[in-house]
DNA sequence: TAAAATATTACAAACGTTTGCGACAAAATT
DNA sequence: AATTTTGTCGCAAACGTTTGTAATATTTTA
């Protein structure tokens, strides 16, 4: 069965294509009576406008692109979820591609976006950073780019991200409030700037406000690494009374070790992490965490995208603030 | 800056549009020398074919639609991840929409798909089932639909799903092997057919092969429900020595209770679940589970989609088999 | 009643491709 | 030398819209 088009409607109604087109969009030029007829027929033949033809004609698509390192990721999928929700409300559809943290994929994805003439892209940089030029190419083509989470330094772009340093500082505050003596702080992949930022913020805060607290710092790239690391530390004579986990990955590893060693939380060990909340709430007691909501970030990113598309350039770096969520682990 | 088009290339090279078009796709009619020239210019002006124009002309898009209840879901995101990977390899891009288990959204999403003339859609039914007619509309328009996970009974469609009954049977086998005396079996939402199927398969198997084993059956819609349920059961005199968790949700709830009660796994309690593996591996010891891989399901779904698009109708219901993964909880 | 204003509809070009067919030359065949 | 084949390339239509402008009919105004 062939799709019904304006032409078909026009023929059946003995009208011109343009009249039909205008009738369907309630154009004032068209009389009420023909509008009725047109709508009735369109309904019964269930006419659906061909998005491609529209986009070709109007040179603007109702599609937004999203590039994430991975879709199966606790943080990103809540981001996507939020963006999708907002997009749908505003008549946009999403095209989601994953880079798998691979530059080649990322470039490929961008090409697909350009070829599909998306009207904007949300991008989370893959960890290899040399490839920012391509994003300029997008801007040249007047395709706004909103970076999220892992953003470039270049301030010619619009960026939204979590208040990374704040997260670490809030965690440090709580640790000090708890009156911790020996702290084990495990951060994420040392190569990522986000790890560095959070680490130095944490370190500085601890230094300034509680220099007597003994802190040891580590990095872990995977939950396995974090688990091994914690096990090793736990076998030492001077055990930590508090552990800070920068990421969900780290927390997962630590928790496995904690369960294996049957350490009592929070009596023997206080735990605090940075997370969107899903993982921390898997345990008993719930782990206290500083919340970084991909959901809110998504909402914010969408607002920025709209601003970019409507008005002129809004080159800003916005951050969504973090808040502490009390579990029972501190 | 305006996008470079075939027309532009043609003008600059003093060639016709058709020649340029053919040159770019290595058509045998075109001489090697002009192919070179065309490619060179296309390269330097970084020409990108306009997907809309192509799709309008060829009446076939390189876009596949995916409808999932929710993107942020351990199972679905691995499905999406797999489909995305396969799609990219085959030159397709994905348009992902979430129904939020809401019929209205689902219909809306389908409309978007039709308007964007996607060349196929992967759909997971939202739990309200009356709306299958729309999918017939898709088929009438020759847009193949591949259902996954939650599929309609109607066998005019192509379906892929997990071997639901098998999963439950495998779990039952393992429970019998363990020589369990008292089993607590907690299934998912009673309203879902998948819960019913798994339950009766489990029940039948236990009846047939180990009638002496004492089993109690429950349903839980959320992890909180499962947690409360387990807590209540654990306070009884006759405690279960084995618990079966049909879903991740259930497992999460049970594990919270288990941790709260400081029950020793597997000595005091054996645990087995059905899962894709993420949640079970969060605990120590790892929870044994029957694997249902969204990933494999995604791969399978894609193959079916391609078959549907190429050849004629392949109306089959395929299932991906399940396998037992040993953790330390049994 | 003629002129002007308004209401309603139609025409046609354009968006950027693809593709069947025809045009023309050069090369090969008779 | 006349004819056929082959190699290159261009013309033009089509995909389904949108939209500026022209055309016609109807009403209002002077």
- What's the Cα-to-Cα distance from B255 to each of A29, B6, B213, B269, rounded to whole Å? 66, 61, 23, 11
Q: Does A232 touch chain B (CB under 8 A)?
A: no
User: Which class for A139: exposed (0-12), middle (13-18), buried (19 or more C-beta within 10 A)?
Assistant: middle
- What's the Cα-to-Cα distance from B256 to each of A153, A265, A280, A286, A318, rounded to whole Å? 42, 13, 11, 9, 37
- Render pLDDT for B134-146 as a digit per residue (tens, 0 to 9): 888 888 778 899 9
Q: Judged by CB atoms within 8 Å, which residues 253-292 of B form the interface with A?
A: 255-257, 259-260, 279, 282-285
- For residue B242, what are the β-bridge partners? B183, B270
Mean pLDDT by 10 residues, chain A (330 residues): 85 92 92 92 92 90 89 79 90 85 84 88 79 82 88 88 91 95 94 88 95 95 95 91 95 96 94 94 95 91 90 78 91
Cβ neighbours, 10 Å, residue A264: 10
Q: Transcribe A17-45 into DSSP letters.
A: HHHHHHHHTT-TTS-HHHHHHHHHHHHHT
DSSP code, position B145: E
State the angle between helix axes of A294-310 and A74-89 in degrees (0 to 180), rounded to the nearest 10: 40
| Whether residue B104 has pLDDT greater than 90 | no
Question: What integer pLDDT is reported at residue B129 of this predicted model?
Answer: 61
- Render pLDDT for B274-321 as a digit per residue (tens, 0 to 9): 998 999 999 999 999 999 888 899 999 999 999 988 766 677 889 998
Q: For residue A98, list chain B residues with Cβ-Cβ distance below 8 A.
A: 81, 84-85
Residues 6+ away with beta carbon under 8 Å from B166: B201, B319, B321, B322
Protein chain A, residues 58-87, with a C-beta closer than 7 Å to any atom of nucleic acid strand D? 58
Does the distance separating the beta carbons of B95 and A94 come in below 8 Å? yes
**Exposure of A124 in the CB half-sphere (CA atoms within 13 A):** 28
Question: What integer pLDDT is reported at residue A73 of this predicted model?
Answer: 72
Based on C-alpha coordinates, what's the Rg of chain A? 26
DSSP code, position A3: P
Closest nt to residue A10, judged CA to C1': C10
Q: For residue A6, list chain B residues with Cβ-Cβ distance below 8 A.
A: none
All structural domains of chain B, each given as residue ranges with its CATH number in brackets, are 6-49 (no CATH), 61-161+295-319 (3.40.50.2300), 164-291 (3.40.50.2300)
SS3 for A100?
Answer: coil
Q: Is the CB of B115 under 7 A from strand D?
A: no
Residues above pLDDT 90, as percent of chain B: 60
Element (H or E) spanning B121, and its range? Answer: strand B120-123
Does the distance separating the beta carbons of A140 and B1 come in below 8 Å? yes
Dihedral sign of CA atoms A98, A102, A105, A107 in order: positive
Of A1, A61, A77, the CB nearest to B72: A77
> How do strand B323-325 and strand B288-291 relate by DSSP bridges?
antiparallel
| Whether residue B1 has pLDDT greater than 60 | no
Element (H or E) spanning B230, and its range? Answer: helix B223-234
Q: Transcribe B22-38 into DSSP letters.
A: HHHTT-TTS-HHHHHHH
Cis ω for the linkage preceding A285 (within 30 of 0): yes
- What's the Cα-to-Cα distance from B322 to each of B161, B266, B292, rounded to whole Å? 11, 23, 6
Q: Judged by CB atoms within 8 Å, which residues 50-69 of B form the interface with A?
A: 50-53, 55-56, 61, 63
CB of B288 closer than 8 Å to CB of B329: yes
Query: Which chain A residue lies closest to B139 (C-alpha atoms)?
Result: A1
- What's the Cα-to-Cα distance from B127 to each of A255, B132, B150, B164, rounded to whole Å? 35, 11, 8, 17
Report the distance separating Cα A68 and Cα A96, nearest Å.
8
> Taking residues B33-40, what's their average pLDDT?
94
Q: Does B245 touch chain A (CB under 8 A)?
A: no
| Whether residue B155 has pLDDT greater than 70 | yes
CB of A245 closer than 8 Å to CB of A269: no
Question: What integer pLDDT is reported at residue A313 of this predicted model?
Answer: 65
Name the phi and psi angles at A205, rounded to 5: -65, -45
> Taking residues B105-133, what's their average pLDDT?
83
- Residue with CA nearest C9 C1'? A19
CA-based end-to-end distance of chain A: 64
- What's the Cα-to-Cα distance from A158 to each of A80, A107, A303, A318, B232, rounded to whole Å? 18, 19, 11, 8, 52
Q: Is the CB of B14 under 7 A from strand D?
A: yes
CA of B272 to C1' of C16 (A): 58
Does the distance separating the beta carbons of A93 and B97 come in below 8 Å? yes
SS3 for B4?
Answer: coil
Report the distance separating Cα A124 and Cα A146, nearest Å.
9
- What's the Cα-to-Cα distance from B116 to each of A22, B64, B119, B131, B224, rounded to whole Å? 21, 10, 9, 21, 40
| Whether residue B73 has pLDDT greater than 80 | no
> How do strand A182-187 and strand A323-325 relate by DSSP bridges?
unpaired
Q: Of B121, B123, B109, which Cα lies nearest the Cα of B63?
A: B121
- Residue with CA nearest C6 C1'? A29
Question: What integer pLDDT is reported at residue B128 of this predicted model?
Answer: 62
Q: Of B74, B42, B46, B102, which Cα lies nearest the Cα of B249?
A: B74
């Amino acid at each position: 069965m062939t799709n019904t088009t304006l032409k078909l409607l026009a023929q059946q109604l003995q009208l011109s294509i343009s009249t039909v087109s205008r009738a369907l969009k309630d154009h004032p030029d068209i009389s009420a009576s023909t509008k009725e007829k047109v709508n009735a027929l369109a309904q019964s033949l269930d006419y659906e406008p061909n998005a491609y033809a529209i986009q070709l004609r109007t040179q603007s698509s109702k599609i937004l692109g999203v590039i994430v390192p991975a879709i199966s990721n606790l943080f990103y999928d809540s981001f996507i979820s939020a963006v999708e929700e907002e997009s749908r409300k505003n008549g946009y559809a999403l095209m989601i591609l994953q880079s798998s943290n691979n530059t080649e994929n990322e470039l490929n994805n961008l090409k697909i976006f350009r070829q599909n003439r998306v009207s904007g892209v949300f991008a989370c940089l893959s960890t290899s950073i040399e490839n920012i030029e391509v994003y300029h190419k997008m801007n040249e083509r007047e395709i706004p780019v909103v970076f999220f989470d892992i953003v470039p330094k270049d301030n010619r772009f619009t960026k939204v991200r979590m208040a990374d340093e704040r997260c670490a500082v809030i965690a440090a505050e709580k640790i000090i409030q708890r009156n911790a003596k020996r702290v084990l702080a495990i951060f994420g992949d040392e190569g990522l700037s986000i790890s560095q930022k959070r680490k130095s913020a944490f370190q500085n805060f601890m230094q300034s406000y509680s220099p007597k607290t003994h802190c040891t710092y580590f990095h872990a790239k995977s939950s396995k690494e974090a688990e091994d690391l914690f096990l090793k530390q736990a076998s030492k004579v001077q055990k930590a009374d508090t552990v800070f986990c920068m990421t969900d990955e780290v927390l997962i590893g630590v928790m496995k070790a904690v369960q294996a060693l049957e350490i009592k939380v929070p009596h023997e060990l206080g735990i605090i992490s940075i997370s969107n909340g899903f993982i921390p709430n898997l345990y008993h007691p719930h782990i206290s965490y500083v919340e970084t909501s991909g959901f809110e970030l998504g909402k914010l990113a969408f607002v920025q995208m709209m601003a970019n598309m409507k008005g002129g350039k809004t080159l800003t770096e916005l951050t969504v603030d973090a808040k502490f969520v009390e579990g029972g682990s501190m």
